[in-house]
Amino acid sequence: MFMPASTSGVGNSGAAGGYAGDCVHFAAARKHRGGGSACVRHGARRERFGAEESVGGPLVRDSAPVGQAQGACFAEALPRHLHCPKAQGEQQMAVREILEIGHPTLAARAREVEVGAIGTPEVQGWVDDLLDTMRAANGAGIAANQIGIPYRLFTVEVRADNPRYPYKPPIPLTILINPTIAFLSDETFENYEGCLSVPNLRGAVIRHLEISVSGYDRDGAHQSFEVRGYSAGTFQHEKDHLDGILFPHRVVDPGTFCSWSTFSAFRQEEFANRVRQLVERWGA
């Protein structure tokens, strides 16, 4: 049984963050370089991240004060955009580079988002970028630190036709900011996991079957719901990211590691049968 959180405001239209018709980062960079006012999105980011020392990665390279248009805009220190619609004249989206295991931003604990900041263009832009990147990569979920944003939010969505996980039951789009998870029972299952930040590797991880999930949606509304069954593993995987934990850290038996092709050839059928049994029992 899965009880979805609010998914209102979903999408990457200009209405969500006021970014219609341009690549948000590049537009902000131009604005910042162009004069004395800080750019709408990255000026705020600079103010918030500039003095930090404990988080590595591309967001903390530039520590110039907000509003001083010296040198490069902070936006240029962001992870590389793989797809710039401004340059290519295509549908607006911001697919970001996904950091890979070994990157310090993935290994650090992400920070809480100020609840009062959820409605800002900055945080709304993070959500849009997560959605675009997750869907472009056929992921079942993605955490903000996977695209270089060291804050606590993730998205989860499994569509029925996901080619990366054909055996996964659908999960409606869920956006969670400052998520928490509590275990509702001691019952666990073995989940064969993969990760967009761990290319071509899968491994078996023990996950809880019954969890309670809480957090804020992109409208700043507090959500609390329960997830039971196979889908509970996806939420635990994404929450782990925000604590600097990747699935290989939780693999108990190294003998379960395999590539995507050997998983498909030798292990997927048996695992998919177990997933079916879980879905029959729990409904998700």
Q: Which residue, 26 or 247, is less far from Zn ion as judged by CB?
A: 247
Alpha-carbon distance of 6 to 9, in angstroms, equals: 9
CB of 143 to Zn ion, least distance (A): 7
Residue 240: CB minimum distance to Zn ion, A: 8
CB of 188 to Zn ion, least distance (A): 19
Exactly one of 97, 238, 269, 280 is catalytic; name it: 238
Reduce the DSSP state of residue 111 to 3 states and report it.
Answer: strand
Which pairs from 244-248 meet CB under 8 Å and 24+ separation? 244/106, 244/107, 244/108, 244/109, 244/110, 244/145, 246/101, 246/106, 246/195, 246/197, 246/198, 247/193, 247/194, 247/195, 247/198, 247/203, 247/205, 248/101, 248/198, 248/201, 248/203
Task: Give the list of residues 6+ apart from residue 80 with CB closer than 8 angstroms, or none.
Answer: 96, 97
Residues that bind Zn ion (CB under 5 A): 195
Q: What CA–CA distance (Å, rounded) separates 55 from 105?
A: 7
State the nearest-atom distance from the C-beta of 244 to Zn ion, in Å.
12
The answer to whether the CB of 243 falls within 8 A of the CB of 201 is: no
Closest separation in Å from C-beta 241 to Zn ion? 6
Task: Tell me the residue number closest to Zn ion, measured at CB.
Answer: 195
* 131: its two tokens: 């959605």
Q: Which is nearer to Zn ion, 17 or 179 (CB)?
A: 179
* 238 in catalytic set: yes
Kindly give the pairing relationship between strand 153-158 and strand 198-208: unpaired
As annotated, the active-site residues are 238
